[in-house]
Each structure stands twice: as structure tokens, then as C-alpha cells.
Amino acid sequence: MTAVTRRALFAAIFVVAGISMAAAQGRIIYSATADPHADIAQAVKTASKTHKHIILDFGGNWCGECQVLDIYFHQQPNLSLLENNFVVVHVDIGHMDKNTDVAAKYEVPIKRGVPALAVLDQHGRLLYSQKNKEGEAMVRTDPASVTEFLNEWKPKH
């Protein structure tokens, strides 16, 4: 087995273990009773005062990759990047049947899979949306891919 093959195998085992661990933890990230319209409106108010961007995180508590993304969000340097540059709104998609109007408004095709992210500017204008399961791919690699995403979409002061 070559060194590259061993590294790839190790990375795959790490990701599967991370997803399994996150799913087993069963953290409640997405509130079933939240009103995403109100949450986004509040996020725009906060972001405009603090000159931050807004991340809309579409997912479900049943989603292992969503759990892993949340773990990556809470690891350094991602946590500092989030706290200093973004207001995060978690949007519960139920079982792909809830808040579909919000997903459509921000051009996030949740039927293709979650997690899926959209980035808004401080005024609530769409800057970016994940349309091809990029969120899933991001968490299947490592926390560094989340760091890269956050650095790409943080406000340029």
C-alpha cells in the first residue's frame, strides 16, 4: 500500500468516524419551531450594524453531514472567523419538506442534499448559494475546507 493510498484510507476512516460520532451525538442545531423569515430579518439588522455577512445554514438534525459541519464551525480557526465576520441562521428543512420557500428564495436546491449554505451581504442580498452539494463535499474533507470557505466569503473591510 502506497503512502498516498494509506493517507486517503486514513482520511476516509476519519470522515466516516466523524460523521458517525456527530450523528450519535444528535445535537439540536435546527429548531423545528424557529421562524426563518423572522430569524433572517433579525440577522440582517444585526449584520448591518456590525458589518458582517450572513450565513444561512440549511439542514436537519437527522443529517450526519450537517452535524459534522456544525462541529467544524465550532473548531478554531473557524469559530473565530464565524464570530468576527458572520451572523449564522440555521434553517430547518425537516425531511426536505420544510421551509422550502426560504431555500427557493436563496437559490438553495435542498432536494440535492444538505448541508447547504447561502451567504448574504449585510443588507440581505444573496452573494452565494451552494447549488451542487458543495456543503456535503466540504464536510467530507476536513475543517480546513470550511476555513477556506469562510475566508472566501467574509466581508472585505
In degrees and rounded to multiples of 5, residue 119 shows phi and psi of: -120, 130
Task: Please state which CATH number belongs to domain 3-153.
Answer: 3.40.30.10
Summarised one tens digit per residue, pLDDT across range 98-123 is: 999 999 999 999 988 899 999 999 99
Checking if the pLDDT of 151 tops 50, the result is: yes
Q: What is the pTM of this model?
A: 0.82
Letter string b/e over residues 93-126, b meaning 16 or more CB atoms within 10 A of that residue's CB: beeeebbbebbebbebbbeebbbbbbbbbbeeee
DSSP string across 13-26: HHHHHHHHHHHHHT
Instruction: Pick 132 or 18 by higher pLDDT.
Output: 132
